[in-house]
């Protein structure tokens, strides 16, 4: 996912890989504007990572 704000790209990369009998999720999000950091961090936790977890548990 790439977000643009003030001419600068914010890039999010999600990697999923097996870890024993589970799936490990690595999330890297770079170039987050300082004024948006808290909101973006909360959004990842509340909306995206929870949805990924629910999806993987149902797989």
CB 32 within 8 A of CB 10: yes
Report pLDDT for 2.
52
| CA dist 39 → 19, 20, 34, 45, 53 (Å) | 29, 33, 10, 10, 20
Rounded mean pLDDT for each run of 10 residues along the chain, 59 residues in total:
65 93 91 90 89 83
Report pLDDT for 6.
59
DSSP secondary structure letter of residue 46 = I
β-strand pairing of 2-5 with 8-19 = antiparallel
Spatial strand order of the sheet with 2-5 comes to 2-5, 8-19, 22-30
Report pLDDT for 52.
84
């Amino acid at each position: 996912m790439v977000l643009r704000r003030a001419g600068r790209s914010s890039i999010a990369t999600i990697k999923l890989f097996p870890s024993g009998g589970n799936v490990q999720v690595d999330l890297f999000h770079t170039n987050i504007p300082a004024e948006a950091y808290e909101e973006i961090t909360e959004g990842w936790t509340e909306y995206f990572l929870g949805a990924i977890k629910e999806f993987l548990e149902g797989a």
